[in-house]
């Protein structure tokens, strides 16, 4: 599935992923390939991304923390997530 993470300042990440875990306002949840459409508010916490490979721009690479070769995390203060047609868009602060 395709993931796009956008902040007011820049596009932070865009690429193919296998899963994403996010801090929803009613608790953390995970989205996998072919997940049902969903819109959710996000609270302060950590977004975990699993993908076969990652490519970051020089400007945004410092925002992500490498957990392993296929896992990275991003700390957010709030946001919104939309999943539709195997595309996840995350708007973050």
Q: Where are the domains of the chain?
A: 2-92
Calculate mean pLDDT across residues 2-29. Answer: 96
Q: Which among 88, 83, 91 has a CA at the least distance from the CA of 38?
A: 83
> Which residue is it, tokens 């919104």?
80
Q: CATH topology for 2-92?
A: ATP Synthase; domain 1 (2.60.15)
List pLDDT tens digits, range 24-67: 999 999 999 999 999 999 999 999 999 998 888 888 889 999 99
The model's pTM? 0.93
Query: Residue 82 burial by CB count (10 A; 0-12/13-18/19+): exposed, middle or buried?
Result: middle
């Amino acid at each position: 599935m395709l993931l796009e993470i956008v902040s007011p300042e820049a596009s932070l990440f865009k690429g193919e992923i296998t899963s994403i875990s996010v801090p929803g306002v009613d608790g953390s949840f995970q989205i996998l390939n072919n997940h049902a459409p969903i819109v959710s508010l996000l609270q302060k916490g950590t977004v975990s991304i699993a993908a076969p490979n990652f490519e970051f721009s020089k400007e945004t690479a410092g925002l992500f923390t490498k957990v392993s070769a296929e896992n990275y995390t991003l700390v957010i203060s709030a946001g919104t997530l939309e999943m539709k047609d195997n595309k996840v868009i995350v708007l973050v602060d």
